[in-house]
Amino acid sequence: MSSRLPRYPLGLRLRTAVRRRHRLVAAALCAVALTLVVLRLAPPGAQTTPVVTAARDVPAGRHLSAGDLVMTEFPADLVPGGAHTSLAEADGQTTTVALTAGQPVTPSTVLGPGVLAGQPSGTTAATVRVSDPAVLRHVRPGDAVDVVHHADDARSSPGRTAARGVTVLWAAAAPPEQGSSVLSGGGTDGDAGLVVLAAPRETATELASLEGSGRVSLVLVSR
């Protein structure tokens, strides 16, 4: 008995090869189509933008340094307007509010033009130096205060109210010898007693005239 395999006609062999090729092509096309459908229906990858964020919890009134900052990929849809996008922009800035780790650094969180964001039109940032820096332990950004001026020759008088119900934008830390301020651990000696207030232009002019004349104090008031 012969052990040779049977030989099929050439035409049959060609038709079998073509059918097999068609099945392979069809399978490949189905795989490509399935891939396209998955890509079309899958949600797009989240768009991110590198922004400057707080590397750790940072108190208000701190002069930001490299150790306080880090670049973070932040979801583009959630990036606050004007957020700093380079470490050089934020380095050396002074915080007006406490920052939590991971919070973007924006113009409204540091001293500068952006600190007036959200304030009524015509509001200015007026800087005042209070006579007793220790009072700033009890003052936080967002508080409302009256500014009281005592003339040099009227120490026993109740004083004159130079501004009423103005908003605190930033306040320096108390000097180290007076203990730590609830506001900051990063102030300098030159900042002692400084407070930045959101005030109407005419009130800001009045406050500017107080520098070097008598004593200036703050009184916390309710809104």
- How far is the C-alpha of 31 from the C-alpha of 20, rounded, in Å? 17
N-terminal to C-terminal alpha carbon distance within the chain: 112
Give the chain's length: 223
Torsion of CA 87, 91, 93, 96, to 10 degrees: 60
- How far is the C-alpha of 175 from the C-alpha of 188, rounded, in Å? 8
Residue 185: what pLDDT? 42
If DSSP codes are grouped into helix, strand and coil, which group holds residue 81?
coil
Residue 173: what pLDDT? 67
List, edge to edge, every strand of the sheet that includes 160-171.
123-129, 194-200, 160-171, 144-150, 215-221
- How far is the C-alpha of 94 from the C-alpha of 191, rounded, in Å? 11
The angle at the Cα of 93, spanning 90 to 97, to the nearest 5 degrees, equals 100
- Provide the β-strand partners of residue 147: 163, 218
Say if residues 215 and 146 touch (Cβ distance below 8 Å). Answer: no
Q: What is the pTM (predicted TM-score) of this model? A: 0.58
Spacing of C-alpha 155 from chain mean position = 43
Residue 147: what pLDDT? 94
Question: Tens-digit pLDDT profile for the chain (223 aa)?
Answer: 555 555 655 555 555 555 666 666 666 666 556 556 645 654 555 688 899 999 999 887 788 998 999 999 888 888 888 899 999 989 988 888 888 899 999 988 888 777 787 788 888 888 899 988 888 888 888 899 999 998 876 556 678 899 999 999 888 865 555 443 333 444 455 678 888 999 999 999 999 888 877 889 999 998 7
Domains of the chain, CATH where assigned: 48-111 (3.90.1210.10), 123-175+192-220 (no CATH)
